[in-house]
């Protein structure tokens, strides 16, 4: 079986994660390759073809940066991405992250009679334009070129969700949202390797950690309000500002004695800070299934979320607190928190059951992707191949 994906993936495969979606693509690619499948990654950043230690085949796009800067994205880059994808003649073309350019993989799959698999990476991918405007597009504007990409994404991506052979979702909430639109999907949990998670060494934790992009879209203004209302608490902020809102409140937080701003840290350093925290704080109004939540639970640390509960797992699995948008409730939850060994065991057990790349999870992944090809071949034999 041959699987092909594309994007800025090599950095994540090499341990230099650029984003949550890229990390998940990298983990899936490595898992399938180590299981004996042929995995091809068309990478837009690499300048050479090579094979990783895990057996993932990396392909550059020759001439990707040539052409007139204003026009080359449409005149050179998109055609070259399509040709690179089509030339792989893969059984499965796998895409993740909301973007109109995934139509290239869809076309490649149709041209080569492969399977187009689309993985949702946010609840917004399953919802409507109104929600995406409210929680994403209205929070930032990056110029005419950005607007054009948003327009094309809204024109094309929802149609790709409907036309995909297989749609994978991160949790039950996304699955239910698609069902309301008459779209079937399969829940495919975020993956994690516990080898990178440090062990609990010190139970005497004092700080609350806030990790991620510091901007309006992620609710950084609400985090500032939380800090003002919780002078009893100490906070560690990991990440850097990405928009005006982020810079505004980042500068204001510099005067707070109960806040330590660490800026950008590598993955290992970030996990160490989470491990030595009372809880991970999230003020984002909308997410998918954040990797950082899974990592916190693997560390035995609860997640205290102002608004978001992915698929309801925080409440159902008792993995922290959800304040339903009420900052005063979140402050009260923080004030009464107690870190216990019982919670740490429960949260880590949840991760091991649902997200850990152990033997059972690897078999589950192989069965899922192998069944896609087998079912497609059966349809071809029966004259139903589309």
Q: Which domains does the chain have, with CATH numbers?
A: 2-191+357-381 (3.40.50.2000), 195-354 (3.40.50.2000)
The pLDDT score that the predictor gives to residue 368 is 95
Quick check: 309 and 315 in contact, CB under 8 A? yes
Instruction: State the Rg of the chain over Cα.
Output: 21
Q: Are strands 186-187 and 320-322 parallel, antiparallel or unpaired?
A: unpaired
- The C-alpha angle 292, 356, 311, rounded to 5 degrees, equals 55
- H-only helix segments in the chain: 10-13, 20-34, 72, 78-88, 103-112, 129-135, 144-163, 172-179, 220-229, 244-253, 267-275, 291-298, 313-316, 327-335, 341-354, 359-381
The pLDDT score that the predictor gives to residue 203 is 60
Separation of alpha carbons 102 and 18, rounded Å: 19
The pLDDT score that the predictor gives to residue 5 is 97
The pLDDT score that the predictor gives to residue 219 is 94
The pLDDT score that the predictor gives to residue 384 is 35
Quick check: 20 and 291 in contact, CB under 8 A? yes
Residues 6+ apart with CB under 8 A from 364: none
The pLDDT score that the predictor gives to residue 197 is 66
Separation of alpha carbons 325 and 359, rounded Å: 39
Separation of alpha carbons 326 and 376, rounded Å: 48
Burial of 244 (0-12, 13-18, 19+ CB in 10 A): exposed
The pLDDT score that the predictor gives to residue 233 is 95
Quick check: 91 and 115 in contact, CB under 8 A? yes
Separation of alpha carbons 82 and 77, rounded Å: 9
Quick check: 125 and 25 in contact, CB under 8 A? no
pTM for this prediction: 0.91
The pLDDT profile of the chain, 386 residues, written as one tens digit per residue, is: 999 999 999 988 887 766 788 999 999 999 999 999 999 999 999 999 999 999 999 999 998 888 887 788 888 999 999 999 999 999 999 999 899 999 999 999 999 999 999 999 999 999 999 999 988 888 877 788 889 999 999 999 999 999 999 999 999 999 999 999 999 999 999 999 877 666 555 566 889 999 998 999 999 999 999 999 999 999 999 999 999 999 999 999 999 999 999 999 988 889 889 999 999 999 999 889 999 999 999 999 999 999 999 999 999 999 999 999 999 999 999 988 888 889 999 999 999 999 999 999 999 999 999 999 988 765 544 433 33
Q: Taken in order 279, 281, 285, 289, is the CA torsion positive or negative?
A: negative
């Amino acid at each position: 079986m041959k699987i092909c994906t594309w994007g800025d993936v090599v950095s994540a495969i090499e341990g230099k994660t650029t984003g949550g979606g890229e990390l998940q693509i990298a983990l899936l690619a490595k898992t399938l390759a180590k299981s004996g499948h042929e995995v091809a990654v068309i990478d837009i950043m690499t300048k050479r073809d090579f094979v990783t230690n895990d057996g993932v085949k990396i392909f550059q796009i020759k001439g990707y940066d040539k052409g007139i800067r204003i026009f080359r994205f449409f005149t050179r880059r998109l055609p070259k991405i399509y040709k690179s994808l089509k030339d792989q003649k893969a059984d499965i073309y796998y895409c993740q992250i909301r973007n109109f350019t995934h139509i290239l993989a869809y076309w490649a799959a149709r041209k080569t009679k492969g399977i187009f698999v689309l993985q949702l990476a946010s609840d917004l991918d399953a919802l409507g334009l109104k929600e995406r405007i409210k929680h994403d597009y209205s929070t930032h504007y990056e110029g005419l070129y950005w607007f054009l990409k948003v327009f094309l994404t809204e024109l094309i991506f929802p149609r790709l969700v409907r036309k995909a052979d297989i749609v994978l979702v991160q949790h039950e909430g996304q699955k239910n949202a698609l069902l309301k639109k008459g779209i079937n999907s399969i829940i495919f949990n975020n993956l994690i390797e516990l080898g990178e998670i440090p062990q609990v060494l010190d139970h005497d934790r004092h700080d609350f950690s806030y990790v991620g992009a510091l901007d309006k879209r992620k609710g950084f203004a609400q985090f500032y309000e939380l800090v003002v209302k919780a002078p009893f608490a100490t906070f560690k902020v990991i990440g850097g500002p990405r928009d005006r809102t982020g810079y505004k409140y980042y500068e204001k937080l510099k005067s707070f004695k109960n806040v330590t701003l660490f800026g950008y840290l590598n993955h290992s350093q970030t996990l160490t800070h989470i491990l030595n925290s009372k809880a991970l704080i999230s003020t984002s109004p909308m997410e998918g299934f954040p990797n950082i939540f899974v990592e916190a639970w693997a560390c035995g640390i609860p997640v205290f979320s102002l608004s978001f509960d992915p698929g309801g797992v925080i409440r159902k699995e008792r993995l922290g607190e959800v304040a339903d948008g009420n900052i005063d409730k979140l402050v009260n939850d923080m004030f009464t928190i107690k870190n216990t060994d019982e919670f740490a065991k429960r949260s880590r057990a949840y991760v091991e059951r649902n997200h850990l790349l152990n033997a059972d999870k690897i078999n589950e992944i192989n069965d899922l992707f192998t069944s896609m090809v087998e079912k497609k071949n059966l349809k071809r034999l029966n004259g139903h191949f589309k």
